[in-house]
Chain A
Amino acid sequence: MTGAQLEKIFKYLKNQKWRIFGSAKISGEEEQTAEISPYLKAHQPIDLEPMPAGRLQIKELESINELILSDELPIYPFKNLFIPECETLFEYKGNQLTESDRSHKIALFGINLLDLKAFNLYDLVFANDPYYQRRRKNSLVIGYATNLEKDVYGRNYEPDILEHVHFDIFIEGPSMHSAKQGKLNSEKYKIFAGSIKGQRILEHLGYKKYEYIEFNGPLVNKERMNELRNKLTNHHQQKIWDELGKRCIECGKCTIACPTCFCFRIDDEAGLVENTGVRTRCWDSCYYREFSEVSGPSTSSGQDNKPKFLTTTAQRIHFWYYHKFARIPDEFGIQGCVGCLRCHQVCPVDINIKEVLEDVKK
């Protein structure tokens, strides 16, 4: 496929009323996390740094001129398009609940392979969730990679990686930093279809040279997964978590930046008209103190006085790692981490997941 044909797909989707999201360059004006997370912002004691100019973020795109196809990971993943940071589950009037349906046709254009892996987990976690499933059904996923051998960090992908991620269309070929540059790329893109939906769009546009890939389930490095799971489950090393507990400032940025983190809370918000309001589901973070709070008499004076089960920073950071590397493997047979390293990149105190896992393995 040529760069011009990619543009044709983009325009076709636009005409078909798909809202298109993809990677775009950050100008440097946008405030960090403001777009993705007012909730996180509310938890921040100080003003946030502006978003790093030049990095990529996922944005709604009006034209292909804004789109960047590259192996570089956008600063935040696309999970908020499927489980929004805050969404209305029901609107209520008196005791009457009405299910909210605000799903749109969403096309993700150029999602990298590491982020595509996160779908494998979300599809399992939210298998019975009508809100997620509606959005998933109404979505079109177009994956992208410069090559299918190595990721942006130079690590090898699993063999036949495309058989182990969900997509409708997948594009493999040279990176594109502007549509103009893309146009020069003639016949350089290899196209794969991963669903009938993707196939139909390609055929409709008269493109037949694609390869059809059947989804073959998530691929798991069982040995590595079981090693970590076993260490965390049967060889708890409090020292690791105590040390991390001294460094971690519980800002929760890693949970926002992580493509697999999905903890949430459910709350009611009263509306302006009496007896009306909404029941919401919003992202939560296991680093926040109220995460495990229960009712009951206060245990001490001061702000942090409600009884809770995760009482120390060390316990909370352990909870995060345990979830990804022990509980998710136990529950779903896959690992709760796609290796994107965003948690390290956003961490203000430089906690490096690779180093932590090495310590756990020791």
Chain B
Amino acid sequence: MKNPYLSHPAKIIKIIPQAANIKLFRFKFVREGRYHFAPGQIIELSIPGFGEAPFAPCGAPDKEYFELCIRNVGKLTDRLHAMKVGDTVGIRGPYGNGWPISYNKKHITENKNLLIVVGGLGLVPLRTLILGKDKYLGKNTKVQIFYGARTPADFLFRDEYDAWRKYGIVIDLTIDKECAGWHDCVGLVTTLFDKKRVVNNAQAYLCGPPIMYKFVLEQLKTKHFADKDIYVSLERRMHCGLGVCQHCAVGHLYTCKDGPVFQYEQIKNIEGAI
């Protein structure tokens, strides 16, 4: 019987600092070639002696490597942040279901546009989708991003925004509080709904701190988004990644196995989901 807890060694091949305490790590498997995952899925990263934790890969699709963007917040991530190019970690997965484009083509056939609403690190699980827009969404799909961060220095992947814009993606940014040198929007990510024109005929993909969802959902309702057109990526504690250990259970669903991306329609009546 195959051991589902066994991880595969992957080497760090590049480290790119992103923001305070946040680094983008590029990995390559020691034994295998290409790494297949759908945007929004998760993997379990482990370092012997420091434990395991789930992360969402965020690199460009169809590469010989994969990327994880990780904030230093605990024992495992602290160790990872101390690692250098050439060091090895363990990876198992991918697990769960990502953004709906990854497992059905409905999104493209329905010809819906896409509004991405993210806060803080929430942009991470969407970067693969953004970098592979044509592949996943088709050339004609319009993509708009509402992105809120604490300060201008907290915006992730900000040296890529020009390239994304050239690609036809609209990016609207906002920061929590006024700050010298910042001439754009100020306020929580929900303020963008009042200040910016929302792309028409769209689905919405949400990812951010748990507190964000309730307020963004309210805004989406005022813009007449149907519950079936809203997708949220949920955060929960995970241990096994296989839908067994119960830590990530939300109602009758498991965040690791059935999510982390859920259609809002599917979870709106579950006590404690949002």
- CB within 8 Å of B: which residues of A? 89-90, 92, 94-95, 97, 99, 125-126, 128-130, 133, 233-234, 236, 262-270, 275, 277, 279, 281, 284, 286, 291-296, 307-310, 315, 318-319, 322-323, 326-327, 330-331
Residues of B contacting A90 in the complex (Cβ-Cβ under 8 angstroms): 5-6
Q: Is the CB of B245 within 8 A of A284?
A: yes
Q: Is the CB of A264 within 8 A of B240?
A: yes
B23 at the interface (CB under 8 A from A): no
Residues of A contacting B3 in the complex (Cβ-Cβ under 8 angstroms): 99, 130
Residues of A contacting B235 in the complex (Cβ-Cβ under 8 angstroms): 294
- CB within 8 Å of A: which residues of B? 1-7, 9, 46, 48-53, 71, 73-74, 77, 88, 90, 209-210, 235-237, 239-240, 242, 244-247, 249, 251-252, 269, 271-272
Q: Is the CB of B209 within 8 A of A296?
A: yes
Residues of A contacting B236 in the complex (Cβ-Cβ under 8 angstroms): 292, 294, 309
A-B complex: 7 closest residue pairs judged by Cβ atoms: A92-B48, A330-B252, A295-B73, A130-B1, A263-B246, A270-B49, A268-B51
Residues of A contacting B251 in the complex (Cβ-Cβ under 8 angstroms): 233, 322, 326-327
Q: Is the CB of A92 within 8 A of B49?
A: yes
Once the chains are docked, how many angstroms separate the CA of A90 from the CA of B47?
13
Once the chains are docked, how many angstroms separate the CA of A269 from the CA of B52?
12
Q: Is the CB of A128 within 8 A of B50?
A: no
Q: Is the CB of A95 within 8 A of B272?
A: no
Select which of B6, B49, B244, B252 is within 8 A of A268 by beta carbon: B49
Once the chains are docked, how many angstroms separate the CA of A327 from the CA of B1?
27
Once the chains are docked, how many angstroms separate the CA of A323 from the CA of B247?
11
Residue of B nearest to A95 (CB): B88
Once the chains are docked, how many angstroms separate the CA of A293 from the CA of B53?
12
Tell me the smallest distance from the CB of A148 to a CB of chain B, in Å. Answer: 33
Q: Is the CB of A327 within 8 A of B249?
A: yes
Once the chains are docked, how many angstroms separate the CA of A292 from the CA of B249?
9
Q: Is the CB of B271 within 8 A of A236?
A: yes
Q: Is the CB of A94 within 8 A of B247?
A: no
Residues of B contacting A130 in the complex (Cβ-Cβ under 8 angstroms): 1-3
Residues of B contacting A126 in the complex (Cβ-Cβ under 8 angstroms): 244
Residues of B contacting A262 in the complex (Cβ-Cβ under 8 angstroms): 244, 246
Q: Is the CB of A233 within 8 A of B48?
A: no
Q: Is the CB of A266 within 8 A of B50?
A: no
